[in-house]
Amino acid sequence: MRAVLPAMKDAVGRLLPMEIRGVDAETSHLPYDVVAQAGPMRVLCFAPTGETRQKTPVLFVYSLINRYYILDFMPGRSLLEYLTGQGHPCYVIDWGVPGVAERHKTWADYAVRLVDHAMRTACEREGVEQ
């Protein structure tokens, strides 16, 4: 067992930096604007590209664990591409990576305060009531 531990420690030491480098790699292919930020949470705006612009914004509240860019995986396989192509202004919450400052946040902070902040931002930018 003692011989295995140094090998495992060495393997983890080599693999962990590769995993950490991949954490911030965004794969979204559509352009967006960051329209609000609260700590690591960002509200991203994907502008409509369709001929007819819809008035009501679509807000995606994606998982805290997974990343939003699965909604914009690749050209032709993108929910955001489809919706913006139909004229919908799309807003996405990117939770970011929590740090030490977020250690005291509760589920209520995420589910109520931050989602409400994103919703108000989207509605104000589009000129519609919440």
As given in the structure block, the two tokens for residue 122 are 């989207």
Predicted pLDDT at 25: 54
Q: What is the pLDDT of residues 29-40, one digit of tens each?
A: 899 999 999 999
The reported pLDDT for the residue numbered 9 is 62
Encode pLDDT of 92-110 as tens digits.
Answer: 999 998 889 888 989 888 8
Q: Do 88 and 48 contact (CB within 8 A), yes or no?
A: yes
What residue has token string 């939770």?
Answer: 95
The pTM of this model reads 0.76
Give burial (CB, 10 Å; 0-12/13-18/19+) of 35. Answer: middle
Question: What's the confidence (pLDDT) of residue 2?
Answer: 62
